[in-house]
Chain A
Amino acid sequence: MKERAADIVTYVLLFIWTAFTVFPFIQLTLTAFTGRTFITSLRPEYFTLSNFDEVIRFAGYSYVNSLITALGAMIINVPISSLAAYAFSRFNFYGKKLLQNFLFVVFATPLVTAFIPLFILFRSLRLINTLMCLILIGATTPIPLNVWFAQRYFDTIPRELEEAAMIDGCSAFRSFIKITLPLATPALVTMSLISFLITWNEFLLAVILISSPRNFTFTAALTGLGATYYGGFRYGILAAGSLLGLIPLIIFFALFRKMLVRGLTQGAIKG
């Protein structure tokens, strides 16, 4: 009986949180298609695509920039994170504990506080205003997270497989590439998605470091449509732009839901 009551409470609470999570998205979608924010007074004739049209016209090119940046960060981040995670998982070496703790400390240090030196650094490297600086930052920010995931995943892959390959003459590195990586594909996918999305969503640093409009990322370009606090709110356009910015997220989620969740909540669960 008490169990039944507990179940009901569980479902009710979950329902409330679901509503709480989903409500802003619904409002966003409605606003994107109608340009209005008043839920209770919507009429069918308000629906229009003009907001999307305007966003695409003014910020379409920056979509490509965002894609390039996110892809670039992903391509750099995944290999180096897997390498490091493999080392932490398989090897024991001097300073390993220290280095792991250090990674944790880095994770707890948000980069945003250092935007001033980053600005100056990239300026002197002449990378300011280019997509490269965002790619480099995007490759670095997810490192602690990705190394942590990958390491835990690697831990669930039995060593015997690699040892077997090594007995057959493979070097440790080759067995890593040929045996371990293919088995760790869910982890690789998760890492790719995480680094892609973190870079795709990067907003503040993108606005600070890139001032030439042809190099804007999509979120930065969106601010030019009357976006930030100073700009004034043309709600429909902002909402339309926001929805467009969510597209990669939606695509990846639809395709990789199971894997993402598994990767993110992976614990002692065997694959």
Chain B
Amino acid sequence: MEGKKEGRRDYLKTVGAAIAGAIIGGALGWVAKPAAPGVTETVTVTKTVTAKPTPVKGTFVMSYPNGYAGHYIHLKEAFDILRITNPELRPEYVGKTWGEYYEWLLTVFAAGEPPDMPMIDCIWIPKFVELGYLEPLDEYIAEWPDWENWIPTFKEGMIWDGHVYGIWLNTDARVWWYWKEFFPEGFPSTLEDIIDKAKRLKAEGKPQIATWVGAAIYPFMCIYCSICPEDRLKSPGWGLFEIKDGKLYPIFDDEYGVRSMEYILEMKKAGIEFIDIPGFSASYDKFFEKKISALFAGTWMSGQALARGYKYEDWEKYFGAAPWPPPRGGRVHAGIPGGWVAVIPKNAKMPKDLIWEYIRILVDESVVGKVFAELGYLPTRRDAFDIVVEKSKDPFMDDYLSYFKNVYIRPEITEWERVSKAIDDAQWSVILERKKPDEAIKDAAKEVAEILGW
């Protein structure tokens, strides 16, 4: 029966194809090793790292957001030092893109197998604290003299119920990068000037100005905080909330909030491009391909330029960096720093003492000073600033650090995800012209009030 033979041959073909596929896949897997960009100088940590009585064996898992090579290099530098006293420790680095990093962290913590030392965005920490995933660090800090060197905002930001839950590793400032060829007169110094400039660029058919939109910061808070009363900036959430009956209550739908939304609408009408979270990474490409003439992102643009082959010496020829300009009559303020925090998960597989040791190396000022000088992130401890400035070849470093004079961090609330979504939706409904500015911000405030339990 030839059908049988033919059938058997076909089945063998399937199996053969599957095996061939397995071999190819295995070969690919063998070939695949994560690319390891290196930092040139070697670092010796000057303070003694107390060696554990017995070196630890096993795999030490670290996770980081991978849109930016600097984090990986930072983790690796510190790990190489940790390895000196624990030679049999193997590293595993997990990098995820910013947007899915949060969901991944939640999933991996919920599954009970968190990384041993994850870097967590400062705005997500409250959620992890609430879910009980993090180990309090008070005991370790009590014996750690370095803690004094931390800038106060970055210390207090990590305290809940009197316990410290994380060490703030790095931070950044939000910054405009622009191509000098399109801004021969320099970057506009007021918001109104930006709007005019955008109109002119459009009229001349030149690439447009673009800003990120999102996490309630871009650009709403940039505008809002530069026009609201100064003492309000000291209130929780940097002017967004006030405390009523022991709870946070949204106040950003006042006249300043409405005015901020109106500015955003004016920006849109002038032709400024707004880039949503999905487009963040692509926006770097767009900037460096000169499809947009200016981008409001952050100090990590330095790293992006480096990654694309621009050398420090040439930067000032091509680019400039500028802070967000206030509306006429408003104040320049520092921008809202973000940053990443080192934590110890309760369910971590490695011994917690080892993880603490790693964190200490990670934030040691010599490590920080060296890594950040080469990669454009900003330190959170005062004594590292000098090292960074001294070593850094980044021509914009002084500017970045000057923006730092008044830093305020975002409100540390567990529902920040939903709150910022409400404000972002308000911005987008104005940009997409589906709602009027005052309507949008007032609806957002109503929603936020509901989220916060009012």
Contact = CB atoms under 8 A, between A and B. Distances in A.
A touches B in complex, CB < 8 A? yes
Q: Which of A60, A211, A230 has the most chain B CB atoms inside 10 A of its CB?
A: A211
Contacts of A185: 4, 7-8, 10-11
A224 B281 CA distance: 13
A143 interface: no
A64 B92 contact: no
Contacts of B278: 228-233
Nearest to A212: B113
Given A61-B29, A223-B100, A251-B21, A123 B8 contact: no
8 A-B pairs closest in CB distance: A230-B99, A232-B281, A60-B32, A185-B7, A231-B97, A211-B108, A60-B28, A61-B29
Contacts of A79: none
13 contacts: A60-B28, A67-B18, A182-B7, A185-B4, A193-B14, A211-B111, A227-B97, A230-B97, A230-B277, A231-B97, A234-B282, A256-B10, A271-B3
Nearest to A254: B17
A255 B3 CA distance: 17
Q: Chain B contact residues: over half helix, strand or loop, or mixed?
A: helix
Interface string B385-416: 00000000000000000000000000000000
Given A64-B29, A182-B7, A186-B10, A213 B94 contact: yes
Contacts of B29: 60-64
A208 B107 contact: yes
Interface string A111-132: 0000000010001000011000
B32 A224 contact: no
Interface string A176-195: 00000011111011001100
Contacts of B17: 251-252, 255
A174 interface: no
A58 interface: yes
A259 interface: yes
Interface residues of B, number: 48
A193 B277 CA distance: 38
A179 B360 CA distance: 70
B33 to A, nearest CB: 7
B145 interface: no
Given A56-B31, A63-B29, A183-B7, A211 B113 contact: yes
Bin the interface of chain A by size.
35 or more
Interface string B26-46: 101111111100000000000
B99 A231 contact: yes
Nearest to B15: A192
B247 interface: no
A233 B32 contact: no
Contacts of B18: 67, 71, 196
Contacts of B95: 224
B28 A63 contact: yes
B287 to A, nearest CB: 13
Nearest to A182: B4
Given A212-B108, A224-B66, A58 B32 contact: yes
Interface string B45-78: 0000000000000000000001100000000000
Given A129-B111, A251-B17, A232 B25 contact: no
A54 B307 CA distance: 15
Interface string A35-64: 000000000000000000010111111111
Nearest to A71: B18
A248 interface: yes
B32 A57 contact: yes
Given A64-B26, A71-B18, A251-B17, A56 B32 contact: yes
A233 B282 contact: yes
Contact of A64 (B4, B10, B25, B281): B25
A233 B283 CA distance: 9
A232 B3 contact: no
Given A60-B32, A228-B100, 10 more contacts: A56-B28, A57-B34, A60-B28, A62-B29, A67-B22, A129-B113, A186-B10, A196-B18, A224-B100, A229-B277
